[in-house]
């Protein structure tokens, strides 16, 4: 089991209103899955992704990656886990404004201690894959929202983490660009065993996913396998 979550609860309180963002969620993610969290706004998708990514602390319940419970790790160990095992695509992009697109893509690898030449060699093909091969030296504010989204996706996948958590990864993208990104992530999944978990409203993402977990009011209400998951490292159709 790559990722295991049990009994996750998260409550927000404000202006006298109590919101159960997550209400006892259980979820297992196997290595090599290509799965989507679906549900209306406010169903708990983003909260769940952030909790699985060790960004939020649950009010109750536990999360474990590779058998290691997050609650047993200190802040430094959690940061190391996020750096080396997880990739993130945030709705707000979270790009560094003073860095170019290429530097943003390389940033995680720089933190990992990857040499400059190796970082460049890895970053440029991924920028090309997401259609930004000519915009690598542009800063985020010089890019459109859709282009910034593609930089965020490239940054998340360039180091081939164990698990990529992507919050609405095709938002602000036209269908052609979204299709290219999904094809790229599908190849990383099938050929290199990178596991993907998306939150999404996009029918294209749900069509590509091999498993759809549906949330409503902070609870899992359905868990549907739509296609068999490829064995890690095995191309589809092999």
DSSP string covering 197-210: EEEE--HHHHHH-S
For the stretch 179-210, pLDDT in tens is: 888 988 898 899 888 999 999 989 999 999 99
For 90-179, strand residue ranges (E) read 163-167
- Residues 6+ positions from 157 with CB-CB distance below 8 Å: 87, 126, 164, 184, 185, 188, 194
Residues facing 195 on adjacent strands = 163
For the stretch 137-156, pLDDT in tens is: 999 999 998 899 889 989 99
Q: What is the pTM of this model?
A: 0.89
Top pLDDT among 41 and 65 is at: 65
Cβ count within 10 A of residue 237: 6
Top pLDDT among 59 and 230 is at: 59
How far apart are the C-alpha atoms of 7 and 23, rounded to whole Å? Answer: 8
The sign of the CA dihedral 138, 143, 147, 150 is positive
Considering the four listed CATH numbers 3.50.40.10, 3.20.20.80, 3.40.50.300, 3.40.630.30, the one that applies to the domain covering 3-225 is 3.40.50.300
**How much helix, strand and coil, in percent to the nearest 5, is found in the chain?**
35, 30, 35
In degrees rounded to 5, what are phi and psi of residue 87? Answer: -120, 140
Element (H, E) at 69: strand 68-69
- Residues 92 and 169 sit within 8 Å (Cβ to Cβ): no
């Amino acid at each position: 089991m790559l990722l295991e979550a049990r009994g996750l609860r998260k409550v927000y309180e404000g202006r006298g209103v109590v919101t159960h963002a997550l209400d006892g969620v259980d979820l297992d993610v196997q290595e090599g899955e290509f799965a989507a969290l679906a549900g209306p706004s406010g169903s708990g998708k983003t909260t769940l992704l952030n909790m699985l990514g060790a960004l939020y602390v649950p009010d109750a319940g536990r999360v474990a990656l590779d058998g290691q419970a997050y609650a047993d790790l200190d802040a430094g160990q959690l940061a190391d886990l996020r750096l080396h095992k997880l990739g993130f695509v945030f709705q707000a992009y979270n790009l560094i404004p003073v860095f170019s697109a290429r530097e943003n893509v390389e940033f995680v690898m720089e933190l990992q201690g990857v040499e400059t030449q190796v970082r460049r060699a890895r970053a440029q093909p991924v920028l090309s894959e997401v259609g930004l091969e000519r915009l690598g030296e542009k800063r985020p504010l010089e890019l459109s929202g859709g282009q910034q989204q593609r930089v965020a996706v490239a940054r998340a996948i360039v180091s081939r983490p164990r698990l990529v958590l992507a919050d609405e990864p095709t938002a602000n993208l036209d269908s052609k660009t979204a299709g290219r990104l999904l094809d790229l992530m599908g190849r990383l999944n099938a050929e290199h065993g990178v596991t993907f978990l998306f939150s999404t409203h996009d029918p294209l993402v749900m069509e590509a996913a091999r498993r759809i977990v549906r949330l409503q009011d902070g609870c899992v209400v359905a868990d549907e396998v739509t296609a068999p998951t490829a064995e890690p490292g095995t191309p589809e159709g092999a």
